[in-house]
Structure 1
Amino acid sequence: MTVLVVGASGETGKLLVGELLDRGLSVKAIVRPERSLPDGFPTSESLTIIRGTLLELSDAEMRQHVKGCRAVASCLGHNLSFKGIYGKPRRLVVDATRRLCQAIKANASDDPTRFVLMNTAGNSNRDLQEPLSFGHRCMIGLVRFLLPPHADNEQAADFLRREIGQLDRQVEWVVVRPDSLIDSDRVTEHEQYPSPTRSALFNAGKTSRINVAHFMADLISSDESWKRWKGQMPVIYNKGFS
């Protein structure tokens, strides 16, 4: 199996690449031309580095990169700097999600491609009408207005829910929602739930990046895990923070 990873040079993306390689999968990783690979980035004969700016790739280039991949994983996110939060591209995640899905559909593979999107526990799954307090709804509205990356994450998940939906023959999807991200040097026990078990704003849990990568790799490589979560937006916590 070959997997395309976008956002591969990020803190979670590089861990996902390593998890996939450890499971014997082949990985194609798209990395910006001007960016050096981060410390600890995996090396393997099964890894192909593609230098390019994702949203500047032509439709033909996008189709070529996706071709032959049984899964696509997005760990894209905005840098936590003033330019990263308020500069362009403001719609990085949703535009990348849309273009990648369009490329998958244009290739018209006989088998559906798994699309795994890393998102945030602060984004609710409106398919489930998750219960939110009045204060939470007010604060999320303010965050949505003040912080463009949050709206970008919401719109990317909404694209998969509404425009791809549950019955698409070429794209199947899971949106992974970690809570407050922390670093760890090893995989620890973690738990997944269909909806948050605590408020991401007022009582946030913790999720280590390596656990997110481990879960995303499980979704990609395990039919059992995929069938459990396909078409859903599971929230992942380190065990003890649910």
Structure 2
Amino acid sequence: MQRLAVSGASGKTGWRLVEEALARGLSVRAIVRPESLVPPAWAAAERDQRLQVHRLDLSSGEALLHALKGCTALVIATGARPSINLAGPLQVDAAGVQAQVQACRAVGLQRVVLVSSLCAGRWLHPLNLFGLILVWKRLGERWLERSGLDWTIVRPGGLSEDDGRAEAEGVVFTAADQQQSNSIPRRLVARVCLDALEVPAACGRIIEITSSPAQPMDSLQQWLEAGPGQAGST
């Protein structure tokens, strides 16, 4: 059985990733902050040994290596939280991603999907009022792109908590730097990340995603087979 690691697993996108992965029959290792609360629903999966929870700080190299050892893939869903600490995005979205990339290389984990953001790398954007978050997200992307790992970067638009939208809207897929706004439910983001792990053609691509009720419910594989072109970098 494949064992998937999910970092940031107690976050709003992360716990959905864990839930969707378990529903697909994957064994999951959830990586969370030491103080994080986890959903009570995880208890049954832990009892069945389909889920392991590792509590650690990403700056703890040995703990991170231990958490990733034996996993076949990693979805990085960590992200800086709104805070008066303007260094948070640098610490989490850049340095934190770098630490995870280095740990993957050290333990031989080759396949990584990173949840980033639309407009990553842009300077003139309101989100950058929060510690230059889009600048640091792009730096984190670059660490992964240059890692030698099999990577996919997923850039979602504005994140919605409405899971009901996931059953009523299709995903708008584009390559890098094609979308600037619009939203997508976190549930769909989780599904696209897991789909990317199953589609070899998703490797080495930056994929931007939003959703719309007017969009056909095509899969990631269908979009890639239609020939979206090479995902660019900025």
CA deviation vs aligned residue, 1:68-102 (integer Å, no higher than 9, x gap): 1110111111112334xx15473212222222222
Of 49, 56, 70, the residue aligned with 2:53 is 49
Cα displacement (A) at 1:19: 0.7
Tell me how large the CA RMSD over aligned residues is.
2.4
1:76 aligns with one of 66, 72, 78: 78
**Secondary structure of 1:139's partner?**
coil
Aligned to 2:9, the other structure's residue is in SS state coil
Q: CA deviation at 1:241?
A: 7.4
Gaps of 5+ in 2: 216-234
Which fold has the larger relative contact order, with Cα–Cα distance below 8 Å and residues 6 or more apart in sequence?
1
Q: Is the 8 A contact 1:14 1:41 kept in 2?
A: no
| TM-score where L is the length of structure 2 | 0.79
> CA distance change for structure 1 residues 237 and 145 in 2, over 3 Å: closer, same or farther?
closer
- Residue equivalent to 2:156: 178
Q: How many residues align?
A: 208
Select 2:184's aligned residue among 164, 186, 207: 207
- Could you tell me which runs of 5 or more consecutive residues in structure 1 were left unpaired when the two chains were aligned: 125-136
Q: How far has the Cα of 1:148 moved from its partner?
A: 2.9
2:132 maps to 1:148: yes
Match of 1:139 among 110, 124, 127: 124
Residue deviations 1:11-65 (CA, integer Å, cap 9, x gap) = 000000001101111111112222222466574120101122222x13x332222
Are 1:98 and 2:95 counterparts? no
TM-score normalized by the length of structure 1: 0.76
- 1:124-143 Cα offsets, whole Å, 9 max, x none, are 5xxxxxxxxxxxx6624x75
Q: Which residue of 2 aligns with 1:16?
A: 17
